[in-house]
Amino acid sequence: MNQKKYSLLYPDINARYRTLSDVTMHDLGMDQLCKKLSAKEREQNYIQNVMARMYADPAVTQYRCDIFEDVLRQKKMRDDLMEILGRISFLKDYGSFNREYDESAGI
């Protein structure tokens, strides 16, 4: 079975981009913004890496705007997505994804 992968951020994984420097990211306050978006350093780094990529192709920007508009305007979809993400987060923290928990758990 062929499972095609979809991304909410990248319509084309081969799109060309430039990466903003660390100084530019700091000057824009992206480090502070990322700290407000997540308390986890790993997530902060991921968000900052995504935000540092600047695409010259307007199709990438339009794609992201369309995704944002869909999420903003479709309350049921947004609620369903939040429920699914909550379940994934739970599995990640307490389920089989968390190897540290599995190793420390007794029989």
Q: pLDDT tens across 10-25, in order?
A: 887 777 889 999 999 9
d(CA 18, CA 53): 6
Is the separation of the CB atoms in 50 and 64 below 8 Å? no
| pLDDT value at 100 more than 80 | no
Q: Mean of the per-residue pLDDT values for the chain?
A: 84
**Burial letters 1-19, b for 16+ CB under 10 A, else e:** eeeeeeeeebbeeeeeeee
Q: Give the domain ranges of the chain.
A: 16-56
pLDDT of residue 16: 85
pLDDT tens column, 38-79: 888 998 999 999 899 988 888 888 999 999 999 899 999 999
Is the separation of the CB atoms in 60 and 11 below 8 Å? yes
